[in-house]
Every structure is written in C-alpha cells, then in structure tokens.
Amino acid sequence: MVLGGPALADPVADYNEFCADCHAANRLGGTGPALIPETLRRMRGPKIEAVIRDGRVATQMPGFTEELTDAQITALSDYLKTPLDTIPPWGAEQINASRVMDEDYVAADSPVWDADPMNITLVVETGDHHVSVLNGDTFEVLDRFATPFAVHGGPKFSPDGRYVFIMSRDGWVQKYDIYSLKQVGRTRAGLNSRNIAMSGDGKWLAVANYLPNTLTILSTEDLTVAEVHKIEGKDGTPSRVSAVYQAPPRDSFVLALKDVPEVWEVSYSENPDMSLFAGGFTHDWRIEGPTEQDTDFPIRRITTPDYLDDFFFDQSYEHLMGASRKGEDGMVIDLVIGMKVADLDLPGMPHLGSGITWAYGDTTVMATPHLKEGVISVIDMNSWETIKRIPTEGPGFFMRSHENSKYVWADVFFGPNKDAMHVIDKQTLEIVKTLRPVPGATVAHVEFTRDGKYALVSVWEDDGAVLIYDAETLEEVRRLPMRKPSGKYNVWNKITFSEGTSH
C-alpha cells in the first residue's frame, strides 16, 4: 500500500461483504445465481462489471457504485471469472434439500382463463427473467411470472399441456401450472446445467449437467430425485452432458456427451430390452443371459468415431444425426444397431439442435442453419445426401416452420445482418422474402400458433417485442412489447412434435 493512497482491492473480502448473502459464500448460488465461470461465461468481463456497478433492473440485484471503486469492481469481476478450487458434492441429498414446494399452491379444477388450452404460448423474457403466458388466439398476456436466473434450453410441457418445466443455467428446475397460473415449486438439480427433457409418459424429467458431471432424473409429480447418474466414459473419463433429448418411441432419453466420444441412451421403460441395456454378461451368458443393471434407468453406451455434442433425430427416432465438434462434417448413428451408418456433408458447424424437417416431393428433408457461415444445409433423410445449400446473409441460429405453412423461417442471428429474417419456400428451397422489421436489432426465433396461421418473431433486445405475422401474407399484424424475448413455445406444437418444430 502506498502511504496516503487508496487500499489495494481485496475481491474476496468484497465478495464476502457484498455478494455472499445472496450468492452464497462458496459462489454456487442462493437466492441469486451461481457466480462461477460456467454460469457467467456469456456475460464477459465488461458486462459483469456493469452489473456490479449498476445492478439489474427489475431484480433484487442492487448496484454497488457507491460502495466500491472502479478498481474494486474490476478486481471483483476478475475474481468471479476464476474457477473454484473444489466443487462441493451435489447429489440426491443436496438436490432434495434444495427442493421448495409452494405452500399456497392449489391446483385449479380447470383453467382459470377462457382460451384454447392447446393454443397457449409461453414467451421467455431474458431481459428480466420472466415468462409471459399468451392466449394464442387473442395474444392477451394471461400471466407473467418470474423464473430462475438465466433460463436455458426450451421449457418442457407435460403430455396434457397443463404443466411446464423451466430450467436455468445454474441448475434450478421450476414447475408451473398453466391452468392455475401458479408456480408449483422448484428444485436445484445441478450447479451448472444445460437443458431438460420430458419422458414420453410425462413421469420423469431428465436434467443435463455440466457441473457436476451428472444426469439428474426428477419425478415430475413432486420434483423429488429418482436417480442421479454419474457421467463417465467407458475408460473412466468424466464428462459434461452437452444436452439430453427425449426419444418417445424408444421410451428413453438420449445424451450428448461433451468430453468422451460416446452417446448414451437411458431407458425409462418399465420393461427395457436387456439385450441393449445390460450391465454386462454373467459368468455363463448362454445359460443365465445378460446381467441387469441395478437401476430403474439403465444405460446403454454407444461408442462414436468423434465427439458429438449436438444432435438431430429422424421422425422414427431410429437415427441420430450428429455434428462433429470440429465443425467440418457429421455422421448418422443407427440407434437400433448402435453404430455409424453414414457420413454427412456438413461443414461450417451446423446447429442441429435447431434443425427441422418437412415433406419435400416424395421424400422428407431436414434443414439446419450453420453457426460459422451464412448458409442453410438441406439434407435428404432417406439418402443422407445434402441436396442444397441455401446462401443467407449471415450465420443463423434458429429455424421454424409448421405443417400448415408453405414457408420456413430462418434468422440471421450473428453479424451485421442480425436484423434479417429469411422466409424460404419449402418446395423451391428459395428465399422468397427477407424481413427487416426493426433495423439494427437482433430478430430471431419463430414460433407458430397451433393452426399455423400466425408466426411469432422475437426482437431480441431489452426493449424488444414479439411481432405477430400473418404466416400466409407475411404481413405484420401486431407487436407485443417484451423484455428481451428469446424463445417462444406453443403447447400444441411441442406436445405433438409438430412438423417444423425443433424437439
């Protein structure tokens, strides 16, 4: 310290004084989110400093511009970007202990609103961590409720469309009753999580975790833990779970692993095929057969030629399309026989998670945007050949369509043309119109109403909006002001796996 000068910044002391009450002394979150690199990565340094200095509008996060100097704020920001020395255990005991069910929640006998229950659309507003519940016929906002910090991955609906489950980056899973317009409860299924998947029968919710390296399976009834799977490759290498998907015809979840070249299939069937989900063979398999795994959710491991952390499934869920992490190609894995059966010509890092399919002539095609170049690849789902590459004005992130629409909508999420939305004819595979509803703003992610009559488009800005378009004439008919709306999710389209919807 220089005599008479300011004290050196002590970020640990500042954290303990100003942050620990809400974010916990171990930085893993309490009433506020976890403050670790895994959850703050997308905010980057300057954004973290701005939040410390100015707080967050419409949240409990205050600003500390009066309490901390610029040097202290910079040092605290750097501290929050440093990894933790140790990660505490986060298994079934800790998850169940975090579970809070709302004491005042009472399930309504029928919807408390007058609308088509199958045409409800949820809008995730990341600007202030809320979800708006829209009447899909009138676009009236029926409710707007707070979510955990930084919702990530699409919400998942129960098969009857009554309940929705929402997950945040820091592992919180929220259950909300759409009929009652009330939260049911929430639990923390991981410390840093990627996405969730609903079982086909609606009984189980799988949570993919980066931290710790686990797959958590929750009961959808009361959010208690059914099982926590530790994720390790065949050679013992621990792995993060990039994503988990449901495969309803197979009564299973399928996992994309980040750190080992394997695909996992986890069965939730009451009678799984033990020739696939065996834990190995007994001493004399000819007499005794395969050994059952001691779990209600047995695992099948499929070794892959490369790391695959982004998937797309055909309509039968027999084939999995995976993108190479190098972003140079892809492959098709046959889930029935458990091996690669075809290569895919997919350079430019395709975003398979946003891919969609539709009927094209006498075949079915799948289309996917690319994250590194302005192109959309269109693939024949029978031959696995790329039949066309559609040039766009920049790399895109989302694509959407509907079985009753003749168009595909594709955004240009990255780069100077982020305000563009391409509309593509399904049969000519040509761009028929490029919309620019708000010049200079990010325009992204499309969802349709149940009947496909209207397309809902996000203006992905803090003072943004959801734009309602006539899906036939491509004319804008209404704007709904929103706080940085991101994804939109229609109950019917999601629970029926509507054509043109990512699953």
Please choose, from the candidates 254, 232, 235, the residue with its C-alpha nearest in 3D space to the C-alpha of residue 243.
254
The whole-number pLDDT of residue 21 equals: 85
Half-sphere exposure at residue 325, Cβ-oriented, CA atoms within 13 angstroms: 14
- CA torsion 43-49-50-51 (nearest 10°) is 70
Instruction: State both tokens at 25.
Output: 């002394």
Whole-angstrom distance, CA of residue 74 vs CA of residue 22: 20
For strand 386-391 and strand 375-380, is the pairing parallel, antiparallel, or unpaired?
A: antiparallel
pLDDT digits 0-9 by tens, 27-66:
987 667 788 887 776 566 678 999 999 987 656 789 999 9
Instruction: State both tokens at 435.
Output: 């919309």
Q: How far is CA 81 from CA 67, 70, 193, 459, in A?
A: 21, 17, 18, 30
Which strands, in side-by-side order, build the sheet including 100-101?
100-101, 182-188, 172-177, 163-167, 156-157
pLDDT digits 0-9 by tens, 177-208:
999 999 999 999 999 899 999 999 999 999 99
Task: Specify which residues 390 forms β-bridges with.
Answer: 376
pLDDT digits 0-9 by tens, 270-320:
988 877 887 654 444 455 556 678 899 999 999 999 998 788 999 889 999
Q: 149 by DSSP, 3-state: which?
A: coil
Residue 118 pLDDT > 90? yes
- CA torsion 499-161-168-258 (nearest 10°) is -40
The whole-number pLDDT of residue 327 equals: 62
DSSP letter (8 states) at residue 94? H
pLDDT digits 0-9 by tens, 319-353:
999 987 666 778 999 999 999 999 999 887 888 98
Give 4's pLDDT tier (boundaries 50, 70, 90).
Answer: very low
Return contacts of 116-120, CB within 8 angstroms, 24+ apart.
Answer: 116/450, 117/161, 117/162, 117/178, 117/179, 117/491, 118/161, 118/450, 118/491, 118/492, 119/449, 119/450, 119/451, 119/490, 119/491, 119/492, 120/161, 120/178, 120/490, 120/491
The whole-number pLDDT of residue 58 equals: 55
Instruction: State both tokens at 456.
Output: 């809902």
Instruction: State both tokens at 255.
Output: 């996992």
- Are 163 and 179 in contact by the 8 Å Cβ rule? The answer is no
Q: How far is CA 483 from CA 49, 452, 455, in A?
A: 21, 25, 19
Q: How far is CA 400 from CA 149, 434, 446, 474, 487, in A?
A: 26, 15, 6, 14, 11
